[in-house]
Amino acid sequence: MNISQNLATNILYHMKDIINQDLNYINVDGIIIASTDPKRVGTFHAASLECVKKRKNIIIENDSQYEGSRNGINMPIYFDDSIIGVIGITGNKNEVEKFGEIIKLMTEVLVKEAWIKDQDIRKKEIIKAFIERVTLEYEHDLFPMADFSFPYVVIVGKYDINDVFLTDDDIYNILKDHFSDNKHHFFTISRNEIIILYNYYKNEKISSSIELLKKNILQKTKLNFKFGIGTNASDYKDLKLSYRNAKEILKISDVFSTSESVFEYEKMDLELLFMNLKNSNIETFKKKCLKDFSLKEIKEFSVILSVYEKFNGSITKTSEELFMHKNTLQYKLAKIKKISGYDPRNLRDFTVLSLAFKLWAIESEKVNYTEFPSQIK
């Protein structure tokens, strides 16, 4: 293993703060690659070769003892029982020798920590590339992942504000902790969304695990995620479909719920109709039902009907949720009937109106009634 000049320099300046002596890091070829004395970087250091060859500390008592070397102590640095370099402390033997072992130990610890961090970053990137390949329209003829064993289901998580860009390592660490008990789960943050390849067992209640994950993220980051759970996948081709279904049901579910945060494709029913409607049919239906409403009224009444449905037609609970007087709500419902000819207090008419407004919401992506508080008076 070779360490970078940047890492070696960081280690040396970290150590100098402790002992206030000049230090050098020399590679196994005897070249100083980092030093607290910049003039020595790139120069030859003969004593380090002796240190590597004999696998022991070399003490230099005068500057002429070894070519390119000054008085001080030089110690081999080990990584997994192999010498990867030499660290040298410049100074009088009696002053620097007492620091030797602690500096050597600390250097080896810092090298190990840097290696672990680098391996973790590499692993994250490999998994990210793998997930992107198997969930997008690419062939899966890439490196096989260790511990990858079907069946899986793809889960997509999105923050409820579209312009937030996910780069937060805190979210990744929460995911890592949450799934630490199962090495067959894979996850990444890609294209501003969480993507999880969830390895499940028969009859497992996946939503319970994801509900807990959602709560952990909210508690630790204040970010309110929604998750869509796709269809079961038994091969790579199914993963692409599961991913698309997870994204689609997440989008559609916004229209049908203002309180839930985890949605399962397998448990959807009415919502599935919206995925396969032809655009021409949707437009015809919307125009027929909504043609006499202004855009402002569509936004306002879409909110009202969504909450009205949430509370099963309860005037009291709907008015409380909207901070609206009950008489005002009754007036709004009567106005909907007057404009459209459909009475929202009639079950059949409500179904027609609800579908029309939901279709509008899907197309416009204005699905959360909290977006329009100023219009609910």
Cα distance between residue 194 and residue 280, in whole Å = 33
Query: Average of pLDDT values for 86-101?
Result: 93
The two three-digit tokens of residue 87, written as one number: 């660290």
Query: Average of pLDDT values for 249-258?
Result: 70
CA distances 155 to 35, 195, 213, 341, 367, Å, are 49, 6, 12, 42, 21
Mean residue pLDDT across the chain: 87
Check pLDDT > 60 for residue 295: yes
Q: Which domains does the chain have, with CATH numbers?
A: 5-116 (3.30.450.40), 146-273 (3.30.70.270), 279-375 (1.10.10.2840)
**More confident of the two residues 229 and 192:** 229
Query: Average of pLDDT values for 151-177?
Result: 80
Query: Average of pLDDT values for 68-75?
Result: 96
Phi, psi of 344 (to 5 degrees): -65, -15
Nearest to 329 by CA among 348, 351, 307, 361: 307
**Side-chain half-sphere exposure of 64, counting CA atoms within 13 A:** 0
Confidence of residue 368 (pLDDT cuts 50, 70, 90): very low
Confidence of residue 145 (pLDDT cuts 50, 70, 90): low
Check pLDDT > 60 for residue 163: no
> For 90-99, 161-170, 319-328, which range has the lowest pLDDT when averaged over its residues?
161-170
Residue 276: predicted pLDDT: 64
- Torsion region of 312: left, alpha or beta (phi above 0 gives left; psi -120 to 50 gives alpha): left
Per-residue pLDDT of 256-288, as tens digits, reads 655 688 999 988 876 676 666 666 777 888 889
pLDDT > 90 fraction of the chain, expressed in percent and rounded: 60
Residue 279: predicted pLDDT: 66
Check pLDDT > 90 for residue 361: no
116, amino acid identity: I
Query: Average of pLDDT values for 182-187?
Result: 92
Check pLDDT > 60 for residue 366: no
Cα distance between residue 183 and residue 361, in whole Å = 40
* pTM, two decimal places: 0.64
Cα distance between residue 2 and residue 265, in whole Å = 49
- Helices 295-310 and 326-340: crossing angle, nearest 10°? 120
Q: Nearest 5°: CA angle at 171, between 361 and 142?
A: 90
Cα distance between residue 70 and residue 91, in whole Å = 8
Which residues, other chains included, contact 187 with Cβ-Cβ below 8 Å and sequence gap of 6+? 127, 131, 175, 179, 194, 195, 196, 197
Confidence of residue 209 (pLDDT cuts 50, 70, 90): very high
Q: Are 112 and 88 in contact (CB under 8 A)?
A: no
Nearest to 205 by CA among 267, 261, 148: 267
User: What pairing do the DSSP bridges indicate for beta strands 152-159 and 82-90?
Assistant: unpaired
Confidence of residue 253 (pLDDT cuts 50, 70, 90): confident
Residue 26: predicted pLDDT: 97
Residue 371: predicted pLDDT: 41
Query: Average of pLDDT values for 229-248?
Result: 92
Check pLDDT > 60 for residue 140: no
**More confident of the two residues 247 and 190:** 247
The number of beta carbons lying within 10 Å of the beta carbon of residue 332 is 22
- Helices 347-364 and 295-310: crossing angle, nearest 10°? 120
